[in-house]
């Protein structure tokens, strides 16, 4: 019994040694396979991820924009009424502010009276021209009579029927009346020139009338501009800066109006991200203020210039210390909103994911 056990012990040892050797050989073979296989798997996964990626451009430099206006008027006056309050929703055409109209109403009355006076004066000029023509005809008749008398006295002075003095008086009277006729014709010509060469001209097309009418129209326009109306539907803000009784200078901003309808998303991607972005691409929009909500939008337009092109101090790219900086091109995104959607407020932070529809190929690797 002990002899058999002694015989089996070397065999067991040999078997264990062989198994350990096989395991070492297996590890020696698997180690490079696993190492190379892991590297290959990472490379393959990276390639698959790269090829399947690049379709969506995610932009976090994006904000809600809205049409806004600093309300003002081009006439100066005393604020009479501010019928709106801070944060009030107003409709297009609703009255936002009224100035005291009394000075402007008086200006309209004065301009209307001036227009009436100018119209009467022009009509009087037409009548005056006709009177001048009548004076010319009367004076010409007098000249004809003087000519007859002068001719008759010329024959009598030779025969001694009249004195030389009587003849000279008649001759000088004829010369005087002839000059008077020419003076009257000249005055009539001046009057006709004032009428534009047409004695029957319509006074409504004459320059004096047009000028007076323009003054009346301007006075009426200024009266109309004493009332500020909402140019679009929106929410008024900073209303408390204007109080009843204060003097509002011409072109001075009264308060602000922010549209609730004309809103959009302005995204500012890097220029290198715009390679495949086109107008009409679908955009998925999320707003930081409303987590979990998503809007389906569309690229409406791509700006023809970078944001720095219209800056007050544009980059001096021709200088010797030029450094290349990646520019950002504004992209306007239009969103289709529903009645139950939360409000879009100007300045809200947005994340815009633009689906370009582009799929990468192997060629782009090389």
pLDDT digits (tens, 9 = 90+) for 39-97: 777 776 665 555 555 688 899 999 999 999 999 999 999 999 999 999 999 999 999 99
Q: Within a domain: residue 14? A: no
**Higher per-residue pLDDT: 50 or 299:** 299
CA distance 200 to 133: 14
**114: CATH:** 1.20.58
The closest alpha carbon to 259, from 99, 126, 65, belongs to 65
136 and 248 housed in the same domain: no
Please check whether residue 302 is in contact with residue 277, taking contact to mean a CB–CB distance below 8 angstroms. yes
| Strand blocks (E) in the chain | 56-70, 77-81, 89-90, 95-99, 227-229, 234-237, 247-248, 256-267, 282-287, 295-302, 331-335, 349-355
177 and 147 in contact (C-beta within 8 Å)?
no
Give the pLDDT confidence of 145-174 residue by residue, as tens digits.
Answer: 888 888 888 878 777 777 888 888 888 988
Phi/psi for 267 (5° steps) reads: -100, 145
CA angle 133, 139, 141 (to 5 degrees): 105
* CATH assignment at residue 247: 2.40.50.100
In Å, how far are 77, 80, 226, 357 from 102, measured between CA atoms? Answer: 10, 11, 10, 64
Q: What is the pLDDT of residue 366?
A: 56
CA atoms within 13 A of residue 306's CA, in its CB half-sphere: 13
Could you give the percent of the chain with pLDDT greater than 90? 54
Residues 131 and 203 in one domain: yes
Residue 285, SS3? strand
118 & 184 share domain: yes
Q: What is the pLDDT of residues 114-144, one digit of tens each?
A: 999 999 999 999 999 999 999 999 989 998 9
Regarding whether 237 and 208 lie in a shared domain, the answer is no
- Is the separation of the CB atoms in 74 and 248 below 8 Å? no
The full DSSP string for 111-127 is HHHHHHHHHHHHHHHHH
The predicted structure's pLDDT at residue 16:
66
State residue 45's pLDDT score.
66
Domain range for 194: 102-223
pLDDT tens readout for residues 226-244: 999 999 999 999 999 999 9
Which of 204, 234, 254 is a domain's end point?
Answer: 254
Q: How far is CA 311 from CA 33, 307, 314, in A?
A: 59, 7, 5
Whether residue 303 has pLDDT greater than 90? yes
Answer yes or no: is pLDDT of 287 > 70. yes
Considering the domain architecture, whether residues 93 and 145 belong to the same structural domain is answered as no
Q: What is the pLDDT of residue 231?
A: 93
Query: Given this model, what pLDDT does residue 70 score?
Result: 92
Q: 189 with 298, same domain?
A: no
Mean pLDDT of 255-261: 91
Is 2's pLDDT higher than 50? no
Residue 89 lies in a domain: yes
Residue 5 within any structural domain of the chain: no
- Let me know whether 109 and 249 are in one domain: no
Q: Is the same domain home to 235 and 194?
A: no
Whether 130 is covered by a domain: the verdict is yes
- The residues near 10 (Cβ < 8 Å, ≥ 6 apart) are none
Q: Are residues 106 and 212 in the same domain?
A: yes
236 and 214 in a common domain? no
Q: How far apart are CA 71 and CA 76, in angstroms?
A: 13
Are the C-beta atoms of residues 206 and 232 closer than 8 Å to each other? no
Q: What is the DSSP letter of 239?
A: G
Residues 81, 117: one domain? no
3-class DSSP state of 302: strand
Tell me what pLDDT residue 28 has. Answer: 73
Question: Both 330 and 305 in a single domain?
Answer: yes
Percent of the chain at pLDDT > 70 equals 86
């Amino acid at each position: 019994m002990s002899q058999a056990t002694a015989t089996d012990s070397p065999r067991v040892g040999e078997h264990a040694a062989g198994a350990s050797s096989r395991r070492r050989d297996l590890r020696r073979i698997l180690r490079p396979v696993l190492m190379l296989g892991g590297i290959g798997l990472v490379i393959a996964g990276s390639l698959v991820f790269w090829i399947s990626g690049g379709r969506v451009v995610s932009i976090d430099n994006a904000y809600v924009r809205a049409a806004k206006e600093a309300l003002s008027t081009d006439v100066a006056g005393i604020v009479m009424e501010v019928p709106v309050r801070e944060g009030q929703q107003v409709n297009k055409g609703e009255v936002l502010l009224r100035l005291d109209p009394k000075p402007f109403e008086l200006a309209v009355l004065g301009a209307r009276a001036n227009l009436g006076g100018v119209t009467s004066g022009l009509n009087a000029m037409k009548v005056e021209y006709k009177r001048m023509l009548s004076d010319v005809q009367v004076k010409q008749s007098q000249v004809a009579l003087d000519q007859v008398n002068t001719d008759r006295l010329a024959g009598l002075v030779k025969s001694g029927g009249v004195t030389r003095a009587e003849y000279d008086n008649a001759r000088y009277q004829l010369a005087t009346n002839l000059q008077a006729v020419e003076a009257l014709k000249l005055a009539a010509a001046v009057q006709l020139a004032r009428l534009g060469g047409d004695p029957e001209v319509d006074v409504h097309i004459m320059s004096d009338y047009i000028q007076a009418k323009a003054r009346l129209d301007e006075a009426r326009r200024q009266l109309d501009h004493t009332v500020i109306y909402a140019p679009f539907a929106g929410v008024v803000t900073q209303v408390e800066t204007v109080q009843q009784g204060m003097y509002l200078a011409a072109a001075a901003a009264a308060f602000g109006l922010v549209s609730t309808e004309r809103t959009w998303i302005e995204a500012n991607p890097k220029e290198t991200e715009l390679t495949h972005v086109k107008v009409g691409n679908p955009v998925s929009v999320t707003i930081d203020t409303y987590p979990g909500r998503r809007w389906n939008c569309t690229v409406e337009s791509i700006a023809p210039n970078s944001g720095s092109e219209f800056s007050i101090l544009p980059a001096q790219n021709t200088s010797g210390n030029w450094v290349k900086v990646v520019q950002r091109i504004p992209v306007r995104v239009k969103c289709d909103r529903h009645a139950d959607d939360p409000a879009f407020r100007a300045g809200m932070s947005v994340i815009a994911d633009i689906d370009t529809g582009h799929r990468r190929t192997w060629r782009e690797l090389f």
